[in-house]
Chains A and B, each alone.
Chain A
């Protein structure tokens, strides 16, 4: 038996990790984002993407959407630890595969090149509601909304067509139908 020289126990078998989306309603006060993000980094949780903005100016409520991966036990802990933070009002989480929830990310692509290349780019983006936000003779800024992995794909596809810069938001989420997060 190999000797353990640690004062701590050795790590045990890891369970399977899944991707989850957390939606957190918080008081929009100074430092609140640092509290949420600090909780993740301090406890070794992962953040894939993050989107945050005030959604209720009267009640001063911000809505934070965090995409994270973890084992079921870690996901439970994330929810419970978030709930403990004083400025947090409520926390909802769901699996990425959840069919009852829409989640979207927005990306801005800057393409530089000849007209026909830009046309090709627009064509490639057709599925994702492309909007041209700015256009010159030799460039265009194209906005699309899509899933994270679709944007990843587009990012690769447009590179040879003159894509020189990408800017993207984190995912935001909303339930389908009349239901809201509880």
Chain B
């Protein structure tokens, strides 16, 4: 019995969970939405996704290897997620060079300047997306019409998103009841048959991803439910007050990036709160801000801004919102 043994403090076993398992789990959950985007936008979707993912990997590698001179950790799966999310957040006819700028901003400024994975304050993909939206407003808001697999890349027919149709229509004084004929039916919107960013259109696919992540315990229900719930309640109240001036909750949930944001971007581990209570506060904040921007702001869509604004509050939430301690009196 001369075997050398390890002596270390407990626990002596581990669950076997790893960063990779969680990250690739998220990627797997995004696959349905990715397939839907290929199905609706054809070649363009493929080119945009590949460019975004490859650029994110490349920039992360270059920055870690040559600028920060640290260990290269591109295999942890986080760059892949940022790449896919960036692609999900842009139109499928966006030129390659613009996507590459987006990836550089997302990885370079959004993630690596803060110290890499785990330290960034803002969701990297959204930093890239908002940078592009402000810098290239025309290219970023010309949405290809989804015509299916045969769809090309740059040279495609474009149209407005349902959110933009409603926003412009209401601004010009048209009552809502007259505008509904111009937008797709709820079922079409749920299945993704409408204009929009690549990954945001197919609500059904996104919900499928959510279910998978909940079952695998990659995320908890708190953030998605808080975001979607608060949007539903707030728009529901507005719609009841004046049905001709404010669209209803179903419309707001199915359009734009709400489901994509609530399921895949607000739930980003690094940039969301640690405690369940904190997650709910954060989620409600995103929901409220989204509605405020959509209904009262200048942009038709506000999910990206809402998430980024609430990202900034996360450190504060973590300091002031503590989990319920065992033995503490319940209020």
A binds B: no
Chain A residues within 8 Å of B, Cβ to Cβ:
none
